[in-house]
Amino acid sequence: MQKMIFKNKNRITLISGILIIIAFISHFGFKNELLFELLLIIASILGVLPIAIQAYQSLRVKVVSIDVLVTIAVIGAFLIQEYEESAIVTFLFLFGAYLEHRTLNKTRSAIKELISLAPETALKLMDTGGFEEVEIEDVDVNDILLVKTGSKVPVDGKVITGEGYVNQASITGESFPVHKLIGSMVFAGTILENGTLQIQADRVGEDTTFGKIIELVEEAQDSKSDAERFIDRFSKYYTPVVLLLALIVWLISRNIELAITILVLGCPGALVIGVPVSHVAGIGNGASHGILFKGSEVIQDFSKVDTIVFDKTGTLTIGNPEVSEVIAYTDNQEDVLTYLLSIEKESDHPLSKAIIQFVGERKVVDVNKTDVVKGGGIRAQIDGLDILVGNHSLMKRENVQLSQSMLEDIDRLEMKGNTIVLVSINRELQLLLGIKDQIRPNVKEDLIKLRKMGVKKLILLSGDNQTTVEIVAKELNLTDAYGNMLPEDKAHFIEQLKKKGEIVAFVGDGVNDSPSIALAHIGIAMGSGTDVAIETSNVVLMNSNFSRLVHALGLTKATTSNMIQNIVIAIGVVLFLLFNVFFSEWMNMSIGMLVHEGSILVVIMNGMRLLNYKLRR
């Protein structure tokens, strides 16, 4: 019976409304009082059924909900034969719930759009040599898949044949197509606008980047911030207080109609819905712009940030450095380059990519052993030779002797803004490489915007030499810059800032950034970064576009402001209604319920404005 009533709740609302309209037509048009009262009684009984069932279910778990207040009020109005009031209140409450459900669904449109983009089938290479369409669940890692023009990429994978342009808006928020060649990575849920690709599956199903985005957004929309948890606790005690107030008013005044009206007007509906609708809309806007917030509480914390700390490579810079200068201290440079290439091929550091690109194609040799020295470089063995590849600190630590001319070369390249990579064999320096990275476009303008939005300190921490770091900091007008920082140094620096009472965000992209990202109040990972950095972060900028950081901060401030507006609206309406109950003659149950439901729609529509939020230029 309960299932049937809930299933037909919207129909009950419609029938109740029609009965009320017919009742008033019979009253004013035909002066038929008997039919007028009969129709209102039927509308009242019909309308209170779903409300009373929800009230009963709340009481079973020892919660005095809004439905309990309305049910008591309607039954009271019915008993004192105020059928007009009871019918109108039940209809308005049900109709308000219907509109609330419809508009709330719109605030979740971002996640619905994401889910609709999820691929359902794929063209898989079969043992027969042909491609057949299969369900996405039947695709495994390393399967070969065919993607045609206009089709969705079904999995994360690497292009092995063909080329084309892929729209990655579902992943990065950018609608500009990206050129994909052999060796390029493609992502599930993106669309091949032209060309034909064969890809080898790397991640499938929920493990794809797209799958993780959906999971993160769903979890974020379902999570609750401190403000929401406070509102939940507040309403848990507030509703019984309203019930007690109504009882006291009745005991003092013996006016049952006044007591019932207080029950209706005191409902905290707009207060309960106002905060979550703001957060859901804010998270939805972020998702559509390639920004993932991992929970509602992240939005509030991020909006309070006054200090942002940046890693350099891949964050403030493009992360695609190039070798600008090489100095050899050996006549056997070709062999040293071969050793260097063999070692760097086993690393995924941005500097490794620059070195591999510089050295070019040549035969590599077997590397017997490699040890990664955090914040220093790599220690390796090849054919019995002890080889070190890393920065000046690593050479000092390993007692590699550097002549005065070598130190002067290092200083000269550092003054030009180069990152220094040194190569030694058996503790003798063989090569000096200067590597430069380009600052991301428009970063300087974006940093100015961050300052205007209330960020007081912009700090750079990097493993690069101090001179290189200072050159970047000076160009970008940063507050402070510190070089030669190991991962543990960065983490310690973040802890010290927190102890001073600063609200800190850390922006990075590498494995070495993960401790700092995890320690900061808000950890922000660039989407092009490592899985570890993304997993430990609170916010992910999917397309690694630095301007998304500015949008993210502006959005969190707008969301927090919107939430406060909704709380003020909700409390203001309740106080206004209760004031007029005691100090005016025009307030009654029907008008109160109409204003009450209207306030719920106002806070929902106010929250929905965040779906269209764009940063003002």
Q: pLDDT per residue over 437-487, tens digit each? A: 788 888 999 999 999 999 999 999 987 778 888 888 998 999 999 988 877
More confident site: 308 or 597: 308
**Crossing angle for the helix pair 269-288 and 209-222, nearest 10 degrees?**
160
Q: How far is Cα 378 from Cα 367, in angstroms, rounded to an integer?
A: 12
Indicate the residue type of 388: L
Indicate the residue type of 261: T
Six-digit token pair at 53? 């069932």
Query: Model-level pTM greater than 0.85?
Result: no
* Residue 173, pLDDT score: 46
Instruction: Please write the tens of the pLDDT for every residue from 52-80.
Output: 998 888 888 887 777 887 888 788 888 88
* Residue 231, pLDDT score: 66
Q: How far is Cα 385 from Cα 71, in angstroms, rounded to an integer?
A: 84
Task: Report residue 81's pLDDT band, with 50, 70 and 90 as the boundaries.
Answer: confident
Task: Report residue 5's pLDDT band, with 50, 70 and 90 as the boundaries.
Answer: confident
| 135-139, 214-218, 447-451, 592-596: range with highest mean pLDDT | 447-451
* Residue 35, pLDDT score: 93
Q: 497 Cβ partners below 8 Å, 6+ apart?
A: 307, 309, 504
* Residue 175, pLDDT score: 47
* Residue 223, pLDDT score: 54
- Positive or negative CA dihedral for 410, 416, 419, 421? negative
| Residue 556: CB atoms within 10 Å | 25
Instruction: Please write the tens of the pLDDT for every residue from 489-528.
Output: 888 999 999 999 999 999 987 656 778 888 889 989 887 5
Q: How far is Cα 250 from Cα 181, in angstroms, rounded to an integer?
A: 78
Using the CB atoms, write b or e for 87-121: b if 16+ within 10 Å. bbbbbbbbbbbeebeebbeebbebbeebeebbbee
Tell me: pLDDT of 556 over 70: yes
Instruction: Please write the tens of the pLDDT for every residue from 198-257.
Output: 999 998 887 776 676 666 555 555 555 566 667 667 767 777 888 888 889 889 888 888
Closest CA relative to residue 508, chosen from 533, 479, 483: 533
Identify whether the C-beta of residue 615 lies closer than 8 Å to the C-beta of residue 554: yes
Q: Express as a percent the part of the chain with pLDDT over 90.
A: 33
Instruction: Please write the tens of the pLDDT for every residue from 204-217.
Output: 887 776 676 666 55
Q: Residue 526 in 3-state DSSP?
A: strand
Cα dihedral 260→266→267→270 (10° resolution)? 150
Phi, then psi, of 323 in degrees rounded to 5: -70, 120
* Residue 305, pLDDT score: 95
Rg (CA), the chain: 32
3-class secondary structure for 136-172?
Answer: HHHCCCCCEEEECCCCECCCEEEEEEEEEEEECHHHH
Mean pLDDT score of the chain:
84
Identify whether the C-beta of residue 142 lies closer than 8 Å to the C-beta of residue 201: yes
Q: How far is Cα 511 from Cα 174, in angstroms, rounded to an integer?
A: 26
Q: Residue 362 in 3-state DSSP?
A: coil
Q: 596 Cβ partners below 8 Å, 6+ apart?
A: 92, 96, 264, 265, 267, 269, 270, 573, 577
More confident site: 617 or 296: 296
Instruction: Please write the tens of the pLDDT for every residue from 518-555.
Output: 888 998 988 755 455 566 778 888 777 888 999 999 99
**Complete DSSP assignment for 172-240:** HS--S-EEE-TT-EE-TT-EEEEEEEEEEEEE-GGGSHHHHHHHHHHHHHH---HHHHHHHHHHHHHHH
Q: Which residues are catalytic?
A: 311
- Please report the domains of the chain, with CATH numbers, ordered by start residue: 2-108+219-278+559-612 (no CATH), 120-154+156-203 (2.70.150.10), 295-318+440-542 (3.40.50.1000), 322-436 (3.40.1110.10)
More confident site: 109 or 552: 552
For the residues 144-170, what does the mean pLDDT come to? Answer: 88
Cα dihedral 311→312→318→323 (10° resolution)? -140
* Residue 104, pLDDT score: 58
Indicate the residue type of 284: G
* Residue 266, pLDDT score: 76
Tell me: pLDDT of 408 over 90: yes
Q: How far is Cα 478 from Cα 472, in angstroms, rounded to an integer?
A: 9
Six-digit token pair at 44? 């009242």
Q: How far is Cα 199 from Cα 190, in angstroms, rounded to an integer?
A: 13
Six-digit token pair at 236? 């848990």
Identify whether the C-beta of residue 28 lies closer than 8 Å to the C-beta of residue 51: no
For the residues 410-421, what does the mean pLDDT come to? Answer: 87
How far from 394 is each of 106, 136, 166, 383, 400, CA to CA, in Å?
A: 56, 48, 42, 22, 9
For the residues 119-124, what does the mean pLDDT come to? Answer: 89
Tell me: pLDDT of 617 over 60: no
* Residue 510, pLDDT score: 60
Tell me: pLDDT of 176 over 70: no
For the residues 175-186, what does the mean pLDDT come to? Answer: 81
Closest CA relative to residue 210, chosen from 170, 258, 266: 170
Instruction: Please write the tens of the pLDDT for every residue from 577-591.
Output: 888 888 888 888 788
Phi, then psi, of 585 in degrees rounded to 5: -105, -15
